[in-house]
C-alpha cells in the first residue's frame, strides 16, 4: 500500500484532522488527513485508493469503539478527520470517478431528539464508503419516504432512544413498505434489541456503528 494512503488511514483512526490540530498530542506539527489527502491527489494517486485508506482507518476506530477501547469524543474526532478527506474527494464523487457502495438515509424518528448515536452511525458508515444522507432528529415517516423518493435504492437507518418513540419506527417502516416495498431498513438505539427489530419487521439491528456497517455490507 502507498505510504500516503497508510498515513491517511492512521490520521483517520487517530483523529488527526490537519497540521494545525493539536490532537492527538503525539502527532502535533505533523500533516493531518487534510494535507495528506491533498498531497495524495496532487501526486496523482487514484482517489478510489484514498477512499479505501479512509475506510480502513474508519474501520479500525469503529472496531476499537465496538471493543470499548475508544470513546465517543475520539470517534467524533476520527469522523472530523474523515470529513476533511471527503471534502477533497467530493469532486471525484460528483464526476463519478469514485464510486461509493450505495446510499444510506438515516434519521432519528419522530418525537425523538437524541442525536449522538445516530450521528456516530452516519459518520462511520460514510467513512466506510457509503453516501450518507442524514435527515437529523425528529424525522417523520413522510420525511423518510420523501428521502427514498429522492434517493431510489437507498438503505434506510432509523434511530430511537425512547420507549415512546420506538413505536414511531414501526409506523415509519410500515409507511415505507407501503410505498417502497423493497427498501431495506435497519434500526438501532439504546433501548432497542434484535427481538424488537424483528417484531417491527426491520431488516437488521446493530448495537453500534461498526455493526451498522457490517449489516450494510452484508446486504
Partner 1 sequence: MENKKPDICAALACEQPKNAVPIWELEFHLWNCFSPKRVILGTEFLTLSSGDQEKTLHENAEIMFAVSRELQFSALTIPGGYWEIAPGVPAYYWLPDEARIEQTKILKRVVSDNLMLMAVTGGVLAIPEANDYISFSTKLLEAPEEIDDLAQRCWFQGIEQGKKFSDLGVEGLITASDIAENRGPYFNPEQLRRFIFPYLHKWALEVKSLGVFPILHTDGNVESCLDEIAQSGISALQAIDPVAGMDIIRVKNRIGDKVCLCGNVDCGLFLNGTPEQIYKTTTDVLQACKTGGGFVLGASNVIQPQAPKENVLAMIEAWRHYGSYKPVTDKRL
Site of interaction with partner 1 (CB under 8 A):
15, 21-24, 68, 71-74, 76-77, 80, 113, 115-117, 119, 137-138, 162-164, 190-191, 207-208
Within 10 A of 177 (CB to CB), how many other CB atoms are there? 13
Q: Mask of contacts with ligand B12, 105-134, x by CB under 6 A?
A: ------xxxxxxxx-xx-------------
Residue 156 dihedral angles phi and psi, to the nearest 5°: -110, 140
Q: Which among 122, 121, 112, 126 is positioned nearest to 191, based on CA atoms?
A: 112
> Binding to ligand B12 by residue 184, rule CB under 6 A?
no
Cα angle, residue 192 at apex, residues 198 and 161 outer, rounded to 5°: 135
- Shortest Cβ 72–ligand B12 spacing (Å): 5
- Helix (H/G/I), strand (E/B), else coil: 87: helix
> Binding to ligand B12 by residue 62, rule CB under 6 A?
no
Binding piece for ligand B12, criterion CB under 6 A, among 41-49, 139-147, 176-184, 185-193: 185-193
> Binding to ligand B12 by residue 186, rule CB under 6 A?
yes
- Shortest Cβ 111–ligand B12 spacing (Å): 6
Binder of ligand B12 out of 157, 170, 172, 173 (CB under 6 A): 157
Measured between alpha carbons, how far is 68 from 159 in angstroms, rounded to an integer?
21
Q: Which among 153, 166, 175 is positioned nearest to 205, based on CA atoms?
A: 166
Residue 132 dihedral angles phi and psi, to the nearest 5°: -105, 130
Nearest to partner 1 of 157, 211 (CB atom): 211
User: How many residues bind ligand B12, per CB under 6 A?
Assistant: 28
- Shortest Cβ 16–partner 1 spacing (Å): 11
Q: Which does 128 bind (CB under 5 to 8 A by kind): ligand B12, partner 1, none?
A: none
Q: Which among 88, 86, 31, 24 is positioned nearest to 55, based on CA atoms?
A: 86
Amino acid at each position: 500500500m502507498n505510504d500516503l494512503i497508510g498515513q491517511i488511514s492512521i490520521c483517520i483512526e487517530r483523529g488527526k484532522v490537519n497540521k494545525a490540530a493539536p490532537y492527538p498530542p503525539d502527532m502535533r506539527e505533523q500533516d493531518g488527513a487534510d494535507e495528506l489527502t491533498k498531497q495524495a491527489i496532487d501526486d496523482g494517486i487514484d482517489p478510489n485508493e484514498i477512499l479505501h485508506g479512509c475506510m480502513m482507518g474508519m474501520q479500525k476506530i469503529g472496531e476499537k469503539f465496538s471493543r470499548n477501547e475508544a470513546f465517543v469524543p475520539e470517534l467524533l474526532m476520527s469522523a472530523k478527520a474523515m470529513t476533511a478527506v471527503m471534502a477533497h474527494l467530493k469532486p471525484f464523487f460528483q464526476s463519478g470517478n469514485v464510486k461509493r457502495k450505495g446510499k444510506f438515509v438515516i434519521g432519528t424518528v419522530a418525537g425523538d431528539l437524541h442525536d449522538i448515536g445516530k450521528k456516530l452511525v452516519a459518520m462511520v458508515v460514510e467513512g466506510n464508503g457509503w453516501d450518507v444522507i442524514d435527515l437529523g432528529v425528529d424525522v417523520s415517516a413522510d420525511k423518510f419516504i420523501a428521502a427514498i423518493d429522492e434517493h431510489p435504492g437507498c438503505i434506510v437507518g432509523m434511530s430511537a432512544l425512547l420507549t415512546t418513540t420506538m413505536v414511531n419506527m414501526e409506523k415509519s417502516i410500515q409507511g415505507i413498505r407501503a410505498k417502497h416495498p423493497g427498501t431495506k431498513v435497519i434500526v438501532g438505539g439504546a433501548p432497542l434489541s434484535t427481538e424488537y427489530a424483528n417484531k417491527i419487521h426491520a431488516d437488521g439491528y446493530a448495537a453500534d456503528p461498526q455493526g451498522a456497517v457490517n449489516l450494510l455490507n452484508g446486504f
